[in-house]
Chains A and B, each alone.
Chain A
């Protein structure tokens, strides 16, 4: 049942639940801030990765196109923002102008990636998208000569934060007796963007385009026979998925104030793909859960592994970073062995895998 159908059956329970969740989400940053502003920053990064996972979900989950270079679009969005709002070219455009430009640029890159890959089957598509991601990153890392565009490995720093008039998103302010730190302000903005993206995704899923994607995913030849223009639909999948990455990238650049090619490596693409697959490919809510889980759990581990080892063994045997990566790898393997459809699979996937 879709969200709107559920609204009609039992509105009271649904709406009270929604109101409760809304209150919790609004109060969340202040609760986290009590434990330290770090946690608000971690939450912001988690939301960014959720945006990325939702974008990748369109490509991988809806349209069934294996993309191992998704982080390139994140990078494009981030660099577009950085180039238009930093001392690099001395341009300081406002963010509501830059973010759409970033999304558009990412779209263009999405089409650039999609165009040569239309005829490729699954595994070949994977390697080409991977190569594309690496090519984009290498360009970021090397476009400092002969013309300095991206400042190479040194990255671009002192990127403008979001500002509306004199209201800056990076300064602390006290409103209504509450301390709104920079990260908290970004949190609310990110939350709004996330909700918008979720709504767009939900509508897309049930639209003609969404169904066309599903058709292509299930059986491309049959879809073509049914009159679907597979070229157009596939390119649309890449472009739309990329645009979400572009927006997320722009916000990332503003929040951090500094970007470098190091943030857009292959490992990150793999991370986003893992979030989608672990969460439940094709299912928007599953993907969100996957993204949040894979963003928060490593951070929690970082904080708890050290004291835990000390209390259990009296000293640090294995560094938190190593434990974190080990657990991550094991989690990926075990999840695929026991729940290959993901934590919260879409109904279609479940049927697919149950039949085998």
Chain B
């Protein structure tokens, strides 16, 4: 039982990370129907910037660890927001009405460029993320949960709640929802569509920055390629939950994390070791495909009829 509980805790933590990144994907998609494939790299940039700042502060100042991490995160946010904004202006703005493939290819090109730039700045070696907060381990019915894990889950929930509040209780949120329903009419109603879209990208990027710090702290490692796999999985999570739907992103993220953890833990036992934990990713993709076959718009996606 304790093993199951442990896997559940692992899955929840992993899922929280996926959820935060998935929120960024889903927000952008909700507004302009664009898959921002470069989002994973934005997460990576957040992790790298935080790595540099935290490392420098830890080595050169005597500030308390919590403050250092906070400053690191606060430093990562503007960096990511800048990147997100630049992406929107330079890469995506002109392609809002182009056929679907064009922004996809641009996003792929952007992610390649971001990776190479990160490699040039931070070198190609795996970097050890500074572990300055004492990582106390708590025991729970035989399973362990660390301080970092608790922090990640709590932060994710807070972010999700905060985002939902922004989208449903503020004027900015109203404008965002209006733009996502019909940008043209929203513009007629006085919404500055360009600004709203840029704001969406920036909020998504800020989320990515926090996610980057979370991933870096959790695994203790930062590398210029860390964004691609994470971005892919988070994108799957967003699609699983129904892309364009905030609650869907959270649900999809959590679900994917738990499925992966339980899958890796138990596939071997169920299939008598014919399929082991090495098929973990297959399992996750199969679940995704399975869900999409029965609910083509994702778990919480709206059933939109075919637009002619």
Contacts and interface: CB of A to CB of B under 8 A. Distances in A.
User: Do A and B touch directly, given a CB cutoff of 8 Å in the complex?
Assistant: yes
B239 interface: yes
Contacts, number: 130
Interface string A107-148: 000000000100111111011101110110011011000100
B286 A336 contact: no
A353 B102 CA distance: 11
Given A120-B292, A138-B279, A325 B112 contact: yes
Contact of A127 (B33, B235, B274, B282): B235
A221 interface: yes
Contacts of B116: 322, 325-326, 329
A119 B292 CA distance: 9
A325 B112 CA distance: 7
Contacts of A116: 289, 292-293
Interface residues of B, number: 50
A332 interface: yes
A336 B292 contact: no
A222 interface: yes
Interface string B235-255: 110010001000000000000
Nearest to B96: A356
B119 interface: yes
B21 to A, nearest CB: 15
Interface stretch (A28-36, A75-83, A232-240, A273-281): A273-281
B41 to A, nearest CB: 10
A289 interface: no
Given A135-B285, A332-B108, A66 B113 contact: no
A300 interface: no
Interface in B248-301: 273-274, 278-279, 281-282, 285-286, 288-289, 292-293, 296-298
Interface string B65-97: 000000000000000000000000011001101
Given A121-B296, A326-B113, A340-B98, A333 B235 contact: no
A119 B296 contact: yes
Identify whether the interface residues of A are mostly helix, strand, loop, or mixed.
Answer: helix
Contact of A356 (B91, B98, B105, B109): B98
B102 A336 contact: yes
B108 A124 contact: no
Interface string A156-189: 0000000000000000000000000000000000
A356 B112 CA distance: 28
Interface string B23-40: 000000100010100000
A337 B94 contact: yes
Given A281-B101, A322-B119, A325-B112, A142 B278 contact: yes
Interface in A62-104: 66
Contact of A124 (B91, B99, B296, B308): B296
B101 A333 contact: no
Contact of A331 (B90, B109, B289): B109
Best-surrounded residue of B33, B104, B110, B115 (most CB of chain A within 10 A) = B104
B120 interface: yes
Best-surrounded residue of B119, B120, B289, B293 (most CB of chain A within 10 A) = B289
B95 A340 contact: yes
A127 B291 CA distance: 13
Best-surrounded residue of A120, A139, A333 (most CB of chain B within 10 A) = A333
B108 A131 contact: no
Contact of A221 (B90, B117, B243, B306): B306
Contacts of A274: 105, 108
A219 B308 contact: yes
Given A142-B279, A221-B308, 13 more contacts: A60-B101, A123-B29, A127-B235, A128-B289, A134-B285, A135-B282, A135-B286, A278-B105, A331-B109, A332-B105, A332-B108, A333-B110, A353-B99
Interface of A: 60, 66, 116, 119-124, 126-128, 130-132, 134-135, 138-139, 141-142, 146, 219-222, 266, 270, 273-274, 277-278, 281, 318, 322, 325-326, 328-333, 335-337, 340, 352-353, 356
21 contacts: A116-B289, A121-B296, A123-B35, A124-B296, A126-B35, A131-B286, A131-B288, A134-B285, A135-B281, A221-B306, A273-B105, A278-B105, A329-B111, A329-B113, A333-B91, A336-B98, A336-B103, A337-B91, A340-B95, A340-B98, A340-B99
In the A-B complex, list the 4 residue pairs whose CB atoms are closest, starting with the nearest.
Answer: A332-B109, A329-B112, A131-B285, A329-B113
